[in-house]
Amino acid sequence: MGTPAPRSVLLLAVLVGLCTPPVAWGKPNFIVILADDLGWGDLGANWAETKETPHLDELAAQGTRFVDFHSAASTCSPSRASLLTGRLGVRNGVTHNFAISSLGGLPRNETTLAEVLRAAGYSTAAIGFDYYLGIPYSHDMGCTDTPGYNVPPCPPCPQHGTACSPANKDCYTDVALPLFENHTIIQQPVNLSSLAERYMEAAARFIQQARDSGRPFFLYLALAHMHVPLQITPPPDRGIYGAALCEMDALVGRVKLLADHCGKGSTLLWFTGDNGPWMQKCELAGRLGPLLGTWQRARGGSPAKQTTWEGGHRVPAVVYWPGHVPARRSSHAMLSGAAGKDGQVEALRLAQYKAFYTTGGAKACDGSTGPEEHHHPPLIFNLDRDIQEQEPLDVATREYQAVLPAISRAYAQALEDIATDNITVADYSKDPAAVPCCSAQHVACRCHAHGQKSDTAL
């Protein structure tokens, strides 16, 4: 069994450690809001140049902001699997993203946070990705009738006849993007312009049902924001990305009101992101703030999503729990940790020092990529002095020589710990028959025009 390691309840354990005495009237509720492709600098409380997040900034002012919080991976599936299990992808088997035709997912023998809480009497729900209500993968992995903004743009779903091959190989036209409720497709293609409101309504409904039942609840709300395509009507004074960021911020504000309505202090709300911004999307990508990855940029490629540079996995993180988590506090405690390509340990953090054994840059806005390079001895950056990761320590300096033995020991211990752990292997096999399809008789798997629901076996 992939039972939780001590860090499997890291999210809750850290927060409990911040708390004053437990909630007097019973078990607290938990809401985890996970944004997609959000930059560290997209939060105004982190980066003064950002003006579009007043609700998140208020959340930070009324709670604790973690400035050194890291997602467990710099891509979607591994990051989310680690969040839910407390185990890195190299342990839980989810080392890279799944496809729309994938047969597998998170291995069934892995224990999730929701399962632990359900056993403790909680009502649990996931809204956004994976279960209950949402899209089973990123919302650029299927066509829609209103494609939204993307770089390069993708065409809408075909209405009649046979789908044509798009000029952009990253666009999907054969299969429309499905919206699931449990195992049932309720809309295909999904209407992205109403998706945020659907999520909000589902969250409110679930919370009310839990309250009516007298049970505490755990809600995992995985937003489509800020992943492309961005479905937004930008106001004249704000760009596309800024308008979408405003919409996400407003949604978080509404969730906070729901939490407070349950009774202030009864609900712990955690907001964070799955990984850094997708820089190849140019003006539709998020803001890195100071996490520039300058060393890598000089060699080509992006130092953000899909990399182990700080911009790839250091993400905004705010926790709000009135009366229990300190307000107006910024914590510099380092939380979580990131793995590299296919779950490999490419970089290691030890206090303020970050050592790279492998470097490389993802595809950037200009189309460049940075070649993979291996470093023995490792590149070591002092992040206290060099958050931009601009200049590694000179190997001949006393500082480098002093820290290298501790880093080498920590790296060896990490590899040994992984090698001797209970490792799970995910199923990454594919089958065209596994592609979610509401109606194979209709172009792009459209549901019938009158909105008939169809079941699908996944």
List the domain boundaries for the chain.
Answer: 27-451
- Listed in sequence order, the residues at least 6 apart from 403 whose beta carbon sits closer than 8 Å to its beta carbon are 350, 353, 380, 393
Q: Is the peptide bond before 6 cis (omega within 30 degrees of 0)?
A: no
Residue 159 has pLDDT above 90, yes or no: no
pLDDT score of 257 more than 70: yes
What's the whole-number average pLDDT of the chain?
89
* pLDDT tier, 455 (very low <50, low <70, confident <90, very high otherwise): very low
9 or 27: which leads in pLDDT = 27
Cβ(85)–Cβ(110) below 8 Å:
yes
Q: How many residues appear in the chain? A: 458
pLDDT of residue 170: 84
Cβ atoms 290, 52 nearer than 8 A: no
Helices (H), 122-194: none
Least Cα distance to 164 among 443, 398, 366 occurs for: 443
Is residue 381's pLDDT more than 80? Answer: yes
Judged by DSSP in three states, 241 sits in helix
**Given a cut of 70, is residue 14 above it in pLDDT?**
no
Question: Which neighbouring-strand residues pair with 382?
Answer: 353
What pairs with residue 379 in β-bridges? 356
> Beta strand pairing status for 29-35 and 267-273?
parallel
Q: How confident is the model at residue 324 (pLDDT cuts 50, 70, 90)?
A: very high
Count H helices, E strands: the chain? Answer: 10, 14
Rounded distance between C-alpha atoms, residue 298 and residue 288, angstroms: 16
Q: Which two tokens stand for residue 387?
A: 């958050």
Indicate the pLDDT class of residue 9, thresholds 50, 70 and 90.
very low
Task: Report the predicted TM-score, pTM, of the whole model to 2 decimal places.
Answer: 0.91
Fold of the domain built from segment(s) 27-451: Alkaline Phosphatase, subunit A (3.40.720)
Is the model's pLDDT at 447 over the cut of 90? no
Residues 136 and 458: beta-carbon distance below 8 Å = yes
Residue with tokens 């999907």: 172
Comparing 96-100, 159-163, 182-186, 319-323, the range with the smallest average pLDDT is: 159-163
For the chain, what percent of residues have pLDDT higher than 90? 81
Q: What is the pLDDT of residue 452?
A: 43
Direct distance between the N- and C-terminal alpha carbons of the chain, in angstroms, rounded to an integer = 23
Q: Pairing relation of β-strands 329-331 and 353-361?
A: unpaired
Is residue 165 scored above 80 in pLDDT?
no
Share of the chain above pLDDT 70, in %: 89
Question: Alpha helix (H) ranges present in 214-322?
Answer: 240-261, 294-297, 310-313
pLDDT of amino acid 233: 84
Q: What is the mean pLDDT of residues 368-394?
A: 97
